[in-house]
Structure 1
């Protein structure tokens, strides 16, 4: 697909100059706009190729076959069950932001269908660029430090939480 940038479109032969800013312009701007938009049209075949490439990249990343700078970064996650609305107890949640630039630590108490609602406590941590781009061990060390700092700020008392890896799926 040939790319003609916006400046090149305006500078085609025969396009008169715009007197206000000294930029060339087209006498029929709707044709010019349509010509620009046509460059962004994607065929069904192209969409299927993009879909297949994305799926291949995700599968490679999940199996550890990704290159040093993968197109898609993935971590395998597991969901033991879906929520049903009657969950009760204290839960600590770790959430990586959509861009990977932040980590949110959240402590929430769920009371099930009955009882009063307790507001969650949370704190957001900005992830340094070198941690985002570094090895996974560096990220997990950062997460552990943030969790420790959060628990120091919001002590959970003598409560004990089951270790995630001890749960059976």
Structure 2
């Protein structure tokens, strides 16, 4: 997959070659708060898994860098997830805490939705911990509607969905 550019971001498909940057991203306290502490081995395994997803499914996560400064802003994109017993196209994002409130998660989300439309997806889901009000607000800004809460990794998560065929 080629890199994408948004108004402010350069989105680079994650693969094994970006494991070090993915690890550095997950050291950010704002991201670690939601995703736990990652080891370098965790980042290497996850980067390899995402690279396989790009090859197998044509979707995956991007690392997001500021187009002008090159600063690492976050990550986000699409993956397939089993949700309510159905394989669904899921969108997500994580932005370094210093950049919260700057619209980067929304920008990453819009790029992911554009990719989902290119793939002909009818519905995309998003989910987060029920108390993650910032992420839920991004989902709502992107046009997602709340569906219901569900258990995920032993915690209550809020599920949202958006129809792309309207």
TM-score range, shorter-chain basis?
Answer: under 0.3
Question: What's the TM-score once normalised by structure 2's chain length?
Answer: 0.27
Question: What's the TM-score once normalised by structure 1's chain length?
Answer: 0.26
Higher RCO, 1 vs 2 (CA within 8 Å, ≥6 residues apart): 2
Higher strand share: 2
